[in-house]
Each structure stands twice: as C-alpha cells, then as structure tokens.
C-alpha cells in the first residue's frame, strides 16, 4: 500500500468528498494594467508574463486559468501578481492546498470545455461547476511533495538540455565560419534544385503513410508522396520563414508554400542543412529592405552564397554537428529520451495520485 493509500485508508476510509471548484476557490477576472507604473510584479496573460508593474492584484498563492486562447496552459503563482482579462485568477480557501488544486486541474484538460467557434474560451460558470476532490490536507500535501519532486527532476533535465542546445549553436557557428579565398562561395541555385510542393494543409490525413511538410514546425501526414530524396525543407511564408527547417530523407509530400532544397552531388546534404539553420536568417536580415521577411521567393534562395569546402571537409563537419544534434533532438537517445520518459512518468503518477474514490453521500 502506498503512502497516499495508507493516508486515505486512515483518514478517509469511506472515500473522498468532492466539491465544485466554486466552493473551494473564488474565480476572479483580470484587469487592464496600462495605468500602473513599472515594477517587479509580473503581469500574466494567457500566454504567460506580459510585463512587470508596481501593483499586485493578489499576493497569495493562486492558480491562473486562461479565459481565452491556450486553455490548457495553467500557471501556479506563489508571489504577488497581476492578471489581464484573458486569464482568471483564483482566491483559494483553506480547504484545499493551492498547488494540489493546480496539479489536479492540469489533469482535466480544460481545453475540452471550449464551446466557442473561434478563439477558444471558458466562462466562470463552467469553471465554477467543475468537481474537485477534497482529500485531507495531509494527503494533499503528500501528493504535492511527490509531484514537486518529479517536476524538479524534469526542470534539471530541461536545463541540461538547454545547455546542450547552446553548445550545438556554438559548434555550428564556429565550424561553419569560413573565411578567406581558399573556400569558394557559390550561389545556392547552382548547388541545389529549389522549388515548392503542390499540396494544401487540408489534404493531411491522420496516421498517413508519409511525412507531409507544411509551413509549421510540426510535420503532418499524407497517404501519398511527391518526392523521394534528401532535401532541406523550409516555410515560404508565415512565422517560420527563414527559421524553421526540416531535413527530409526519403519519401515525403510538400505544401504549396513550403520550399524543398535538394542538393547536388557537390554538396553534402547534412552540411547544407546545418549551414542554412545557422546562417540563412542572417542572410535574409541583410537582404531585406524592411528589416523582416514575411514570405520567400525562389530567387532569394538562388542568390544565397554558400561556402563550399572540399567534400571530405563537408562530411567531417556534418558528422560532428549531427552528433551534437542527435544529443539535443533525437527522442530515442540521450537527454531527449530521458526527458521524454520523465514526462511520461510524471503524467502517469500525476493522474494516478490525483484519482480518488468518491465518498458515498
């Protein structure tokens, strides 16, 4: 019998009583902050901290619940704060430990309550009626202690992974810094086939047989393919312009506003991938008259000057960078695999620890 089960058996042998969220906490609306002075108090919206001001709307531990936008992105705040009108804050009574409430609400996936046709939204009325378990405070504190331990371990892994990402960026910048006349620079249009696809996002199917690269960071799926090759993929417009790159190796489908860059035999495809990830946004910033680029055209790719060291040197550099890239991004090995396993373990124990037998009235 676990520590939690033993506590419940000793303190609530007949099960746990449930109350509505509105009975254990008051749900409050946020307000505009523009009339406030600058300071150290964080201002929260549905996307996180927006600003810092000199006045707090609440100085007690609270769970912040987005009213619009990212409904599943809850925040636990245990210092003075302010909230805007896109996010609710809670004034939590003494029947429930604030962080226990935070952990429990995270299991409910509040985005499922959304009934809006446009921007996802929640109402106070819907939230107030949510049933919340109220086990003895000792049980609540023990659940928080265990889950805090998991989140601390996850935070340590995330910090280490971020350090690896910075290390990868450092090696990329240094290994790809070519200077002097010994390394020729050749327009990309002479080194690769460049073009777009013909698909639309609505063509995507769940569990399709082939990767479908659109304009976003996450690939989609499709049951047919357009190309069978090694190529670098990037968005032709949208927020990922010049920043988000994918590497295709095999059969894939391509969006009509995404570009494929398929290198010739002169170029190592992985070398070119690392170069574009590292340097292409700099090139766009230098060539843009407006300081930012919202869409790309083929001539912008074709004119990009690529340093072309010897093929063995390209392969050496690609090998080094692929090693670091795997340590940072490959979910099957190293830190990414450990972090992914830790998150699954945390979710398993969170859901298990926060499932309670309801007391019979």
The CATH number that applies at residue 237 is 3.90.220.20
Q: What is the mean pLDDT of residues 198-211?
A: 92
pLDDT in the model for residue 156? 86
Task: Verify that 191 and 298 share a domain, yes or no.
Answer: yes
Enclosing H/E stretch for 250:
strand 245-254
Residues in a beta bridge with 66? 87
Question: Which residue would you say has higher pLDDT here, 144 or 70?
Answer: 144
Residue 144 lies in a domain: no
pLDDT score of 349:
80
Q: Distance between CA 215 and CA 242 in Å, rounded?
A: 11
- Angle at alpha carbon of residue 174, lines to 250 and 317, rounded to 5°: 35
Candidate from 151-165, 185-199, 200-214 with smallest mean pLDDT:
151-165
* Average of per-residue pLDDT values in the chain: 87
What separation in angstroms does the CA of 50 have from each of 46, 81, 119, 202? 9, 11, 19, 34
Residue 86 lies in a domain: yes
Residues 109 and 213 grouped into a single domain = no
Closest among 26, 125, 22, 124 to 67, alpha carbons compared: 124
Is the model more confident about 123 or about 178? 123
Prediction pTM value: 0.62
CA distance 11 to 15: 9
Establish if 149 belongs to a structural domain.
no
- Average pLDDT (171-188) is 82
Is 70 exceeded by the pLDDT of residue 21?
Answer: yes
Structure tokens at 39: 């300071």
Q: Which of 90-94, 146-150, 160-164, 226-230 has the lowest mean pLDDT?
A: 160-164
Domain boundary among 308, 323, 350: 308
Residue pLDDT, tens place only, 69-98: 677 789 999 999 999 998 999 999 999 999
| Element holding 162 (H helix, E strand) | helix 137-175
299, exposed or middle or buried, with CB in 10 Å at 0-12, 13-18, 19+? exposed
- For the record, the structure tokens of 17 come out as 């009583």
- Asked if the model's pLDDT at residue 289 lies above 70, the reply is no
Residues 304, 246, single domain; the answer is yes
Is residue 1 domain-resident? Answer: no
End-of-domain residue from the set 134, 154, 174: 134
Residue 68 lies in a domain: yes
Residue 1: per-residue pLDDT = 47
Q: Is residue 121 part of a domain?
A: yes
Q: Is 109 exposed, middle or buried (0-12, 13-18, 19+ CB in 10 A)?
A: exposed
DSSP string, 270-306: HHHHHHHHHHHHHHHHHH-SSSS-SB--HHHHHT-EE
Least confident piece of the model among 42-56, 141-155, 160-174: 160-174
Domain count, the chain: 2
**pLDDT above 50 for 352:** yes
- In a shared domain, residues 119 and 212: no
Chain centroid to CA 40: 26
What single DSSP character describes residue 91? E
Do 237 and 130 share a domain, yes or no?
no
Task: Give domain status of residue 110, yes or no.
Answer: yes
108 and 222 in a single domain? The answer is: no
Q: Give residue 80's domain range.
A: 19-134
DSSP characters over 6-72: HHHHHH-TT-B-EEEHHHHEEEE-----TTSPEEEEEEEETTEEEEEES--SB-S-EEEEESBS-TT
Asked if 190 and 301 sit in the same domain, the reply is yes
DSSP 304-333: -EEE---HHHHHHHHHHHHHHHHHHH-TTS
* pLDDT at site 116: 57
* Residue 103 shares a structural domain with residue 213: no
Least confident residue range of 94-98, 238-242, 352-356: 238-242
- pLDDT reported for residue 244: 74
Give domain status of residue 325, yes or no. Answer: no
């Amino acid at each position: 019998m676990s520590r939690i089960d033993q506590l419940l058996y000793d303190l609530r042998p007949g099960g746990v009583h449930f109350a509505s969220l509105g009975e254990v906490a008051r749900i409050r609306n946020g307000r505009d902050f523009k009339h406030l002075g600058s300071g150290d108090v964080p201002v929260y919206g549905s996307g996180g901290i927006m600003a810092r001001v000199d006045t707090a709307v609440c100085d007690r531990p609270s769970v912040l619940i987005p009213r619009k936008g990212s409904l599943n992105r809850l925040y636990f705040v245990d210092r003075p704060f302010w909230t805007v009108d896109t996010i609710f804050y809670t004034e939590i009574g003494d029947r429930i430990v604030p962080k226990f409430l935070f952990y429990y609400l995270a299991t409910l996936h509040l985005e499922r309550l959304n009934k809006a046709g446009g921007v996802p939204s929640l109402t106070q009325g819907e939230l107030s009626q949510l049933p919340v378990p109220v086990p003895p405070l000792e049980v609540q504190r023990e659940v928080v202690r265990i889950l805090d331990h998991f989140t601390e371990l996850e935070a340590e892994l995330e910090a280490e992974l971020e350090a690896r990402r910075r290390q990868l960026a450092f090696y990329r910048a240094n290994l790809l810094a070519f200077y002097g006349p010994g390394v020729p620079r050749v327009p990309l249009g002479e080194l690769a086939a460049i073009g777009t696809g013909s698909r639309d996002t609505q063509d995507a199917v769940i569990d399709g047989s082939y990767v479908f690269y659109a304009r976003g960071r996450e690939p989609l799926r499709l049951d047919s393919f357009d190309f069978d090759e090694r190529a670098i993929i990037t968005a032709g417009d949208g927020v990922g312009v010049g920043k988000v790159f994918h590497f295709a190796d095999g059969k894939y489908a391509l969006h009509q506003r995404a570009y494929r860059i398929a290198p010739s035999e002169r170029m190592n495809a992985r070398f070119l991938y690392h170069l574009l990830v590292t340097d292409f946004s700099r090139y766009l910033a230098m060539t843009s008259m407006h300081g930012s680029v919202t869409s790309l055209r083929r001539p912008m790719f074709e004119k990009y000057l690529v340093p072309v060291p010897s093929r063995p040197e390209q392969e050496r550099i690609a090998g080094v960078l692929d090693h670091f890239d795997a340590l940072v991004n490959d979910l099957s090995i190293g830190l990414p695999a450990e972090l992914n396993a830790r998150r699954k373990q945390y979710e398993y124990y969170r859901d298990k620890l926060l499932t309670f037998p309801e007391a019979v009235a």
